[in-house]
Amino acid sequence: MSVRKLKPVTPGQRFRVVNGYDAITTDKPEKSLLAPKKRSGGRNASGRMTMRYKGGGHKRRYRIIDFKRDKQGVPATIASIEYDPNRTAFIALVNYQDGEKRYVIAQNGLQVGQNIVSGDSVAPEVGNAMKLSSIPLGSIISCIELHPGQGAVIARSAGSFAQLMARDGKYATVKMPSGETRLVLQECLATIGAVSNSDHQLVVSGKAGRSRWLGRRPRTRPVVMNPVDHPMGGGEGKSSGGHPRSRNGIPAKGYRTRDKNKASTQYILERRKK
């Protein structure tokens, strides 16, 4: 994986840094695993805008991803590593021995022709999915479930990973990508290895139009709004706007908004880094 800095032949390319896509092996997705993706433009069922700064963008089709990895003990061969417009990570098309095809999140280092498998007694190799109870301590993991059978919800974006720190009773201690240390049931599945496309963080769009291609509309800064629109609005000229806060008046920097009585608090051993 690599990134490329383009020659400044146009103003939009002067600061542009693009992904090299070295790991991508095909540009044609598997038709049987595609689904239509309808856009809301930030509007709800009444047609009212409930989410600002959304709309436009290139048309996409959704790739149906297997987050559950519930085909236990059946080896699968990686047929291709592909780009997915709906996520930052790359995805892998896998062919199971029984003929079924599925998309999975690709881990760093996966190669075409490599075999992966999910199950309790499989080798802890990159791309294999298994329960936290079977993974060696200290392993780098990704695509982690929070409830058994739920499917992966943690560490799914480009370059993200967690680390299995310890096991005690029916829980495993996992250090999350945010730095939080948390208890997770040992029956939950996780995949060995970090998520692919770690160079995603180095990409620079180069121009505003590229954000529009992704469906992001221009964002109005709160400090230039009127007092009726935002707590930080109003004032004569370039006023500072007061303390940073949300549209609802909740402070934006250093103020903890997590519910003290939230049920999952008991599973958090150490809060994330500030």
> Alpha helix (H) ranges present in 62-133?
none
Average pLDDT over residues 50-65: 96
Q: Is the pLDDT of residue 274 over 90?
A: no
Which strands, in side-by-side order, build the sheet including 101-105? 101-105, 91-96, 76-82, 115-116
**Looking at the chain, how many residues does it have?**
274
pLDDT attached to residue 1: 63
**pLDDT > 90: percent of the chain:** 93
Average pLDDT over residues 112-124: 94
Where does the pLDDT of residue 25 fall: very low under 50, low under 70, confident under 90, or very high at 90 and above? very high
pLDDT attached to residue 2: 87
pLDDT tens digit string along 76-96?
A: 999 999 999 999 999 999 999
Average pLDDT over residues 40-48: 96
Task: Tell me the residue type at 216.
Answer: R
- Say which CATH architecture domain 220-268 belongs to: Irregular (4.10)
Residue 48 tokens read as: 């009212």
> Do 3-201 and 220-268 agree at the fold level?
no
Max mean pLDDT among 181-195, 223-237, 241-255 falls in 181-195
pLDDT tens digit string along 12-24?
A: 999 999 999 999 9
pLDDT tens digit string along 196-247?
A: 999 999 999 999 999 999 999 999 999 999 999 999 999 988 887 789 999 9
Q: Which residues contact 251 (CB under 8 A, 6 or more apart)?
A: 243, 244, 245
How far apart CA 194 and CA 155 sit, in angstroms, is: 8
Q: Is the pLDDT of residue 107 over 70?
A: yes
Average pLDDT over residues 119-126: 92
Average pLDDT over residues 132-156: 97
**pLDDT > 70: percent of the chain:** 99
pLDDT attached to residue 32: 97
Q: 3-201: which CATH number, 1.20.1250.20, 2.40.50.140, 1.10.540.10, 3.40.50.2300?
A: 2.40.50.140
How far apart CA 126 and CA 39 sit, in angstroms, is: 35
What ranges do the domains of the chain cover? 3-201, 220-268
